[in-house]
A and B are shown apart, each in its own frame.
Chain A
Amino acid sequence: MSYTISLTVNGDRRDVTFEDARVTLLDLLRERLALPGTKKGCDRGQCGACTVLVDGRRINSCLTLAVTLDGADVTTIEGLARGDVLHPVQASFVEHDGFQCGYCTPGQIMSAVGLIAEGDVGTDPERIREGMSGNLCRCAAYHGITEAVLDAARRMTDDKTRKSA
């Protein structure tokens, strides 16, 4: 039996057919849609490496069956920058050395984008640490990650204030 869903990935509308109900969003992205930026760290919802945004919310793509996503709007790490211009969270991760090996990084960044959009943590480092704690980093770049999210959150808030002023 095959399944066809229609979803938006990084702004592109795509009709996807696959033959297996067991396919997760993570494996759909990595193995079928040529978007390997999203990483697999555990395949069990325990590490956050596979975090993407679905309809603006951060989710573990390894725990999400692709068949459930008909009509969904998915953003992955490949869809964050605007051409050559990095998203503020991406730029901030480079600047604050928010990674070492970079393997958890796509998940960290998508999680941070989602966290900032949720609007609950503001620029409180303690709450940012808590809100980012679903994303493990074995290199333990946590200090840089917190600094990066904090800085990006500030910059994005400033931008918003400026725009609305």
Chain B
Amino acid sequence: MSDILALAPRFGSNSGQSLTRRDGVAKVTGTATFAADNHPDGLLYAVYVPATIARGTVTHLDVAAAKAHPGVVEVITPENRPPLAGDPDSKPFMFAFRFEALQNNTVRYANQPIALVLAETFEAATEGARLLNPLYDAQQPRMGLDGDAPFTPESGGLGLPGTTVHGDIDAGHAASAQDIDVTYETPEQYHNAMETHAVVAQWNGDHVTLDIPSQAIVMQRGAFGYYFGIPPENVTIRSPYLGGGFGSKAIINGPQILAILAARMTGRPVKLMLSRDQMFGPSGHRGATRQRLRIGIDTDHRMTVLDHNSLATTSTFDTFVESAANASQGLYAAGALRSAHQGVRIDAGTPGPVRAPGEAPGSAALECAMDEMAYKAGIDPLEFRLKNYAETEPGTGKPYSSKALRDCYAQGAARFGWAGRPLAPRQMTDENGMLVGWGMGTALFAAPMFAAQARAVLRPDGTGLVETAASDMGQGAWTALAQIAADSLGLPMDRIEFRSGTSDLPDAGIAGGSAHTATAGGALHAAGTDAIRRLAELATGDPDSPLYGAGNAGVIARDGRLHARDDDTRSESFADIITRAGGAEVEGKGSASRTAEASAAHAMYSHGAVFAEVKVDPDLFQIRVTRLVGAFAAGRIINPKLTESQLMGGMIWGISFALHEEARFDQRTGRIMNADLAGYHIPVNADVSGLEVITVHEDDPHVNPLGIKGVGEIGITGTVGAIGNAIWHATGTRVRHFPIRIPDLLTGA
């Protein structure tokens, strides 16, 4: 189908343009193929049976009843499950989490798989799963933040420090003229991408093809190979589109492994798509946290100490402790700084990275505590933050690679109209008598890089081909990465072909950590530059070229031609150069990662400031976010339109965190009581109005050659605190847990 919004030819810079998504037409016509849309011949449907207890063993499954159901082909239980080459309870590589693939009868949390039913139709598989009627030997589950004795983990999140201390904490406390000591709680949250986890697996001998949404295509190719005992090149992953990921689709889970195993066992292609309630179990979540923050300030309102301790839930069989306290590293210039984590093992699935892991709950608590401290000190919360503005990274003293946070504060505050905000709460009402409150929060997210490779080819017809196995989960990789690649080759967008989303391409690294554009984009840029360098060698070394003798450094690529840098009349098209050189394609290779020296030299973060207005009904205590202004500085912006969408999406996740999301566990059974989209609330369209994003100009010469930071996660940070603070400002009630709901304000009234 032709693209009705055909791209205007752009010469020079494709980056920086608000191009519409290159996959847009496919997505609005229903032709974009997501994993479960595939339907190979001979397909079997798999449905997994979820445990309905949280701790114990399965003692009986009525396999005969399930098998007797018309259409049911096979039932897999621990009794007949074929062996795996890799142990699901091992941790053979980074990002490997222990999972349940019917290795035994043990149940370690509700909703883990305890059997898999295969049938000719989805309906028969679903009914077969129901007929298994499991019996259990159940034990009392350990639930909640007080479910067991806390322990001190070696690390927070995935390999972050478990405890970080800068300066003398006791001296910091002793030096304070005023202080606060507050505790905030955040609940378990589940990713709930709209596309549930899905896989279509087809074996051909000892080669398997997987249609599966993946946030780390090449890495997962190796991981699947490991579990099935085949070399990585025998695994083909096709993941052109992900229906959202948010961290959950970078990690392999048990149901996926079982479906692939079932395909090998039956010799037929197998499709498995998790039901919505099954998304609350084997594919990770954000653990609950209880965070204690102690802040001390001197008489000049400068922080003498910022002491952030976090307790988070993890599972009984693996360790991922939400690194919430680390949100206090890197932001405010406190004299002494501590971030310390503890974990508690409960009978739930293992938590994992969820959009803004650590930072989302950590920032929520920190930004509310900052607001409490400012109010106690009697100064404006924005002024308090400016008083404690860090010119170098607190604790380490490292210079920032760039930090336009002052501009974020200024531009956000101006757009919002922050000036003149009364310090005291419950001072403002609107024309309908609603209580009005204003709050703010600082947004911060690290700007890491992973490692990626790419390949760029210039063809004899003057067009380009660029390749890297990137993941587009909605952030816009198909578009933004192509913009970078086109620039690197000096070609307009309509003259490059961009191949991505499959495992036979160079490794694009992980789509996570807000690092994908910087990492995969960096590799594409390097590959394109390498191809142009080789092309320039051909031209400048060829006596028949008008560029002969211009020297490698003396030519630039623009609109499909090489030009002499000092004489624009000397130029030649890519096609002519390649054709005269014999017509062989010119290939460039590139990679990107950050060196240890670069990491040591600078502290690298995206920054932002979020301002929120809420209105609260004085009688019914309904809460509405009526305005939300976010100003963010994230280095070079490749596509402003997509960036704005991503930042807004993050800010709405902030609304969700502040007011909606919470998985509620039944403390007696360990089951989640709201494991569906009716009970697990996320914002709907009517919850979102008055949203504004400002992207603040920022040049960063250090973060990477393209000057790109990331925008995928930062929108949540700052926003949650801003909303919590606005609710306090409207009502005078300080709620110290999330989500904040009507009953919290009723009891506070």
Q: A-side interface residues toward B, CB under 8 Å?
A: 19-20, 22-23, 27, 30-31, 34-44, 46-47, 49, 76-78, 80-81, 84-86, 90-91, 93-95, 97, 99-106, 109, 125-126, 128-130, 132-146
The B interface, classified by DSSP as helix, strand, loop or mixed, is loop
Chain A neighbourhood of B36, CB < 8 A: 30, 36, 40
User: With A97-B21, A132-B685, A140-B653 as given contacts, are A103 and B34 in contact (CB-CB < 8 Å)?
Assistant: yes
User: Would A86 and B677 be within 8 Å (CB), given that A101-B242, A143-B691 are in contact?
Assistant: no
Shortest beta-carbon distance from B612 to chain A in Å:
16
Q: Select from chain A the residue with minimum beta-carbon distance to B652.
A: A140
- Asked whether B685 lies within 8 Å of A146 as measured between CB atoms, the reply is yes
A-B residue pairs in contact (CB < 8 Å), sample of 14: A22-B123, A39-B243, A47-B276, A78-B31, A80-B29, A94-B25, A97-B641, A97-B644, A102-B241, A103-B194, A105-B27, A129-B686, A134-B684, A138-B244
Q: Are A31 and B39 in touch, CB under 8 angstroms?
A: yes
Known: A39-B195, A97-B641. A102 touches B32 (CB 8 A): yes
Give the residue name and chain of the B residue nearest to A27 (CB).
B122
Chain A contacts for B646, CB-based, 8 A:
100
User: Does residue B87 face the partner (Cβ distance < 8 Å to A)?
Assistant: no
Smallest distance from the beta carbon of A22 to chain B beta carbons, Å? Answer: 4
- How many Å from the CB of A125 to the closest CB on chain B? 8
Contact partners of B653 in chain A: CB under 8 A: 140
Which chain B residue shows the least CB distance to A76?
A: B30
Q: With A140-B683, A142-B688 known to touch, is A91 a contact of B5 (CB < 8 Å)?
A: yes
Instruction: Tell me the bound Cα distance from A103 to B273 in angstroms.
Output: 14
- Kindly provide the distance from the CB of B561 to the nearest chain A CB, expressed in whole angstroms: 31
Whether the pair B28, A145 counts as a contact (CB closer than 8 A) is no
Q: Pick out which of these stretches binds chain A: B289-297, B320-328, B470-478, B663-671.
A: B470-478
Asked if B193 and A101 make an inter-chain contact with CB atoms under 8 angstroms apart, the answer reads yes
Measured between beta carbons, the chain A residues less than 8 angstroms from B29 are: 37, 77-78, 80-81, 86, 90
- Cα distance A86–B649 when bound, in Å? 26
Secondary structure of the A contact surface, majority rule: loop
**Smallest Cβ-Cβ distance to B639: which chain A residue:** A97
Indicate if B23 sits at the interface (CB-CB under 8 A): yes
Residues of chain B contacted by A128 (CB below 8 angstroms): 685
Cβ-based interface call for B645 (8 A): yes
Chain A residues whose CB sits within 8 angstroms of the CB of B642 once the complex forms:
97
* Contact in complex: A101, B276 (CB < 8 Å): no
Contacting A at CB under 8 A, from B654-683, are 656, 676-678, 682-683
Flag if A47 contacts B194 (CB, 8 Å).
Answer: yes
B685 engages A129 (CB within 8 Å): yes
List residues of chain A with CB within 8 A of the CB of B21.
94, 97
- Given contact pairs A30-B37, A47-B194, A143-B688, A78 touches B683 in the complex (Cβ within 8 A): no
User: Could you give, for residues 278-296 of chain B, a 1 whenever the CB lies within 8 Å of some chain A CB and a 0 otherwise?
Assistant: 0000000000000000000
Residue B124 lies at the interface, judged by CB distance under 8 Å to chain A:
yes
| Residues of chain B with a CB closer than 8 A to A140's CB | 648-649, 652-653, 656, 683, 688
A125 to B686 Cα, complex, angstroms = 10
B4 close to A100 (CB less than 8 A): no
CA distance A80 to B25 in the complex (A): 12
Residues of chain B within 8 A of A126, CB atoms compared:
689
Known interface pairs A90-B29, A143-B688; 11 further A-B residue pairs with C-beta atoms within 8 A, sorted by A's residue number: A30-B36, A36-B33, A41-B196, A46-B276, A80-B29, A91-B4, A94-B28, A99-B27, A99-B28, A99-B474, A142-B684
Partner of B677, one of A46, A94, A99, A103: A46
Q: Are B31 and A37 in contact (CB under 8 A)?
A: yes
CA of A74 to CA of B641, assembled, Å: 34
**Are the CB atoms of A90 and B28 closer together than 8 Å?**
yes
Residues B228-261 near A (CB distance < 8 A) = 241-244, 246
Structural contact, A84 and B273, CB atoms closer than 8 A:
no
Contact B645 A100 (CB under 8 A): yes
B1 within 8 A of A: yes
Which residues in B have their C-beta under 8 angstroms from that of A130?
Answer: 685-686
Say yes or no: B4 contacts A85, CB within 8 Å.
yes
Residue of A with least CB distance to B655: A140
Distance to closest chain B CB from A128 (angstroms): 8
For B, the interface residue count at a CB cutoff of 8 angstroms equals: 68
- Per the bound structure, the CA–CA distance linking A86 and B5 in Å amounts to 10
A39 to B194, CA, bound (A): 9
Contacts of B244 in A (CB 8 A): 100-101, 103, 138-139
Sort A-B residue pairs by CB-CB distance and give the 7 closest, nearest first.
A37-B30, A103-B243, A100-B474, A101-B474, A102-B27, A140-B652, A77-B30
A112 to chain B, nearest CB (A): 11
CB pair B32–A86 under 8 Å, yes or no, is no
User: Nearest Cβ distance between residue B92 and chain A, in whole angstroms?
Assistant: 30
Chain A residues near B126 (CB-CB < 8 A)? 22
How far is the CB of A94 from the nearest CB of chain B, in Å? 4
Quick one: which of B24, B127, B193 has the most chain A CB within 10 A? B24
How far does the Cβ of B71 sit from chain A's closest Cβ, in whole Å?
8
Of all chain A residues, the one with the shortest Cβ separation from B193 is A138
CB–CB A40/B273 < 8 A: yes
Asked whether B121 is an interface residue with its Cβ less than 8 Å from the other chain, the reply is yes
Pick the residue among B30, B71, B475, B676 that contacts A38 (CB under 8 A): B30
Cβ of B30: which chain A residues have Cβ within 8 Å of it? 35-38, 76-78, 106
Q: Is the CB of B476 within 8 A of A100?
A: yes
Question: Of B1, B475, B677, B688, which is within 8 A of A41 by CB?
Answer: B677
B427 within 8 A of A: no
Cβ distance A23 to chain B, nearest Cβ, rounded Å: 6
Choose one: A101, A109, A145, A146; the contact of B243 (CB below 8 Å): A101
Nearest-neighbor residue (CB-CB) of B1 within chain A = A84
- Check if B121 sits within 8 Å of A20, measured CB to CB: yes
Is A142's CB under 8 angstroms from B652's CB? yes
Would A139 and B649 count as touching, CB distance under 8 A? Answer: yes
User: Within 8 Å CB of A27, what residues of B?
Assistant: 122-123
The residue that A43 contacts in the complex, of B275, B475, B688, with Cβ under 8 A, is B275
Q: A20-B123, A77-B30, A130-B686 are in contact. Are A138 and B676 (CB under 8 A)?
A: no
- What is the chain A residue whose CB lies nearest that of B650? A140
A138 partner, pick from B25, B27, B39, B194, beta carbons under 8 A: B194
| A86 and B276 contact, CB distance less than 8 A | no
Q: Which residue of A lies closest to B195 (CB)?
A: A103
B45 CB, min distance to chain A CBs, angstroms: 8
- CB-CB under 8 A from A46, the residues of chain B are 276, 676-678
Per the bound structure, the CA–CA distance linking A104 and B30 in Å amounts to 10
User: In the bound complex, what is the Cα–Cα distance between A105 and B241 (angstroms)?
Assistant: 13
How close is A35's CB to chain B, nearest CB, in angstroms?
8
For residue B275, which residues in chain A have a CB less than 8 angstroms away from its CB? 43
Query: Which B residues lie within 8 Å of A37 (CB)?
Result: 29-31, 37
The answer to the question of B316 belonging to the interface, with a C-beta cut-off of 8 Å to chain A, is: no
Tell me the complex Cα distance, A133–B685, Å: 5
Whether, in the assembled complex, B220 has its beta carbon less than 8 Å from a beta carbon of chain A, the answer is no
A37 → chain B, closest Cβ, in Å?
A: 2
Question: A98: nearest residue on chain B (CB-CB)?
Answer: B28
Residues of A within 8 A of B241 (CB): 101-103
Residues of B within 8 A of A49 (CB): 194
Q: Is B569 an interface residue (CB 8 A)?
A: no
- Knowing A39-B243, A77-B30, the reply to whether A104 touches B685 (Cβ < 8 A) is no
Q: Which of B33, B121, B194 contacts A137 (CB 8 A)?
A: B194
From 620 to 642 in chain B, residues with beta carbon under 8 angstroms from any chain A beta carbon are 641-642
Taking each of B4, B71, B124, which has the highest tally of chain A beta carbons within 10 Å of its own beta carbon? B4
Chain A residues lying within 8 Å of B246, measured Cβ to Cβ, are 138
B595: interface (CB < 8 Å): no
Min distance, Cβ A85 to any Cβ of chain B, angstroms: 7
Chain B nearest CB from A32 CB (Å) reads 9
Whether A102 pairs with B243 at a CB distance below 8 angstroms is yes
CB-based contact A42/B689 at 8 Å: no
Q: Find B34's partner among A39, A109, A137 (CB 8 Å cutoff).
A: A39
